[in-house]
């Protein structure tokens, strides 16, 4: 929540909605003030204030159309101290804490870069993990297909064997029956020839 205040100290723009803790952008404004441009234009210190539109952004970030980032917890104490002295104007106490503010900003930037590097590494690791997962899935699919083909091949082999065995048995039975018929016919022919010889002898 914003603390209501009406700072009328020299060098500070008056506002009724000064924040309790400044954002990073306003802390940077405090730490770098006055820049050459601000000094040339006679720009005043501007306190970090709530935007009147009930936005979560402060006035500076809202007007600049920039993200309003919070201060890292480790540097809140320094930021609050500089923020308090900023409301009193560009005084010796304010100048004293400016150096601490610049150091805090520098450390926050380093932390942010480290987080970004970790984020990039995480993204690379996630992509690598996804690639390995796809390769494993592809391997499983190929193994399943190979197993299915093996089952089909075995089934076809068994079916072919059973068919051959059935046909072979049938062929043997047919052959045996046919041989029996041939044997019977041979016996009849032999018997007929024997009768014919006997009749010839009787006639003689």
Residue from 93, 48, 90 nearest 68 by CA: 48
Whole-angstrom CA distances from 138 to 9, 131, 148 are 71, 11, 15
CA torsion angle for 146, 150, 153, 154 (degrees, to 10)? -170
Quick one: pLDDT at residue 23? 92
pLDDT tens digit string along 5-55?
333 334 444 455 888 899 999 999 888 888 777 676 777 788 888 877 767
Phi, psi of 123 (to 5 degrees): -65, -40
**What is the Cα–Cα distance from 141 to 112, expressed in whole angstroms?**
43
pLDDT tens digit string along 192-203?
656 555 555 555
Bridge partners (DSSP) listed for residue 58: 50
Structure token digits, residue 170: 């049938």
pLDDT tens digit string along 71-103?
888 889 988 988 888 887 788 888 888 888 889
CB contact at 8 A, 21 and 103: no
Quick one: pLDDT at residue 50? 85
CB contact at 8 A, 47 and 86: yes
**Dihedral sign, Cα of residue 27, residue 28, residue 31, residue 33:** negative
Q: Which of 43-57, 61-75, 131-145 has the lowest mean pLDDT?
A: 43-57
**What is the Cα–Cα distance from 27 to 98, expressed in whole angstroms?**
9
Q: What does pLDDT average to over the chain? A: 75
Helices (H), the chain: 24-32, 36-41, 59-64, 76-86, 92-203
Residue from 56, 60, 100, 45 nearest 77 by CA: 100
CB contact at 8 A, 9 and 88: yes
């Amino acid at each position: 929540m914003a603390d209501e205040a009406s700072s009328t100290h020299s060098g500070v723009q008056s506002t009724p909605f000064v924040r309790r803790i400044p954002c990073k952008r306003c802390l940077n404004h405090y730490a770098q003030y006055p820049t050459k441009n601000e000094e040339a234009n006679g720009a005043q210190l501007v306190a970090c204030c709530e935007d009147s539109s009930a936005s979560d952004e402060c006035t500076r970030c809202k007007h600049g159309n920039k993200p309003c980032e919070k201060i890292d917890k480790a540097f809140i104490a320094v930021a609050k101290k500089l923020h308090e002295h900023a409301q009193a104007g560009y005084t010796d106490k304010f100048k004293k804490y400016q150096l601490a503010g610049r150091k805090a900003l520098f450390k926050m930037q380093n932390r942010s870069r480290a987080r970004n590097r970790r984020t990039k590494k995480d993204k690379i690791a996630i992509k690598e993990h996804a690639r390995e997962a796809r390769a494993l899935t592809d391997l499983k699919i190929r193994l399943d297909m190979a197993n299915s083909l093996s089952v089909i091949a075995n089934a076809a082999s068994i079916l072919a064997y059973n068919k051959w065995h059935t046909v072979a048995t049938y062929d043997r039975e047919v052959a045996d029956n046919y041989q029996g018929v041939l044997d019977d016919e041979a016996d009849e022919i032999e018997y007929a020839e024997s009768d014919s010889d006997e009749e010839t002898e009787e006639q003689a």
